[in-house]
Structure 1
């Protein structure tokens, strides 16, 4: 199967934003849960201290540490997000300036991709798996899912997308997101 696709900025931005959200989803969820536990710990510790119990200071200290860790991860997330979108903006600008289409080719032995900057082939063994999320196919190059080739149903059409998924299932194992 071969697809010659014109560049569509809104699709690219949507796909790359989804990729970032999926990458950080589990971490942010875990730290938000820890934030709630930390706040409850501080409140419980305050009540214990108010009732003249010194053990309440332990709860306050643990809660404060939890809030500190939450703030650390939020700063890391915000910095990562800022750098990621700076890179995306540069990529979009370069792609628009080039005026070229991207070519996606799915062969028996490999996946081939070509755009204004890259012309590459990756053997199927080079992928860790694939995911289908919100009508987008993610071909994951490495296990942490941050490096993926993303192709959407919106770009190639319903029937072609379904045919592609069937083909990819013969080549790669489906991974969770």
Structure 2
């Protein structure tokens, strides 16, 4: 199967945001919920210290456990914010580069995935891929080096997207199963 894909800035932005959410959403949700427990424990600890400072240090224990729940939230809040800012800067730079490539050719054959743009091509054998997932009408295939390749339904059409998805499913699952048996 061979397809010509044109660059679309809106589609690219959605795909990069999707990849960011896949990478950080679970951690963000976990620490978002743990902050509430941390705040409650900190408040209870402070109240116990202020009301009854000599009751076996229970107030200090609440304060300690509250801070141990709250500090990871603060750390990951700023880390995720910094990573998102880096992603936005990288997206701006990549969009300028990708606008130069009007048409990209994507070929899926029995041996490899071949991506061709402006005379240069990249060949990725199917045994280099470890997993694939379809999320929000996008096919994401990830290599052993954790490099994601993403293809949207709006780039190839719904009929071709189903064909590509089923083809990738057979190729990647076959390679994964055979490598697991070793």
* TM-score with structure 2 setting the length: 0.86
Q: Conserved in 2, the CA contact under 8 Å of 1:128 and 1:143?
A: no
User: Bigger radius of gyration, 1 or 2?
Assistant: 2
Runs of 4+ in 1 over 6 A off after TM superposition: none
SS for the counterpart of 2:173 is: coil
Post-superposition offset of 1:116: 4.9
Residue 159 (structure 2) pairs with residue 141 (structure 1): no
2:91 is equivalent to residue 88 of structure 1: yes
Distance 2:119 2:21 in 1: 25
Residue 128 of structure 1 aligns to a residue in which SS?
strand
Q: Shift of residue 51 of structure 1?
A: 4.2
Q: Are positions 1:10 and 2:10 aligned together?
A: yes
Gaps of 5+ in 2: 177-182
Q: Provide the TM-score with structure 1 as the length reference.
A: 0.88
Q: What's the counterpart of residue 42 of structure 1?
A: 42
Q: Please report how far the alpha carbon of residue 50 of structure 1 lies from its aligned counterpart in structure 2 after TM superposition.
A: 4.5
Q: How well do the aligned residues superpose, as a CA RMSD in angstroms?
A: 2.1
Matches within 5 A, 1:136-175: 136-142=138-144, 147-173=147-173
In 1, the alpha carbon distance for the partners of 2:96 and 2:138 equals 23
Q: CA deviation at 1:100?
A: 2.4
Q: How many residues align?
A: 172
Unpaired runs of at least 5, structure 1: none
Q: Is the 8 A contact 2:101 2:117 kept in 1?
A: no
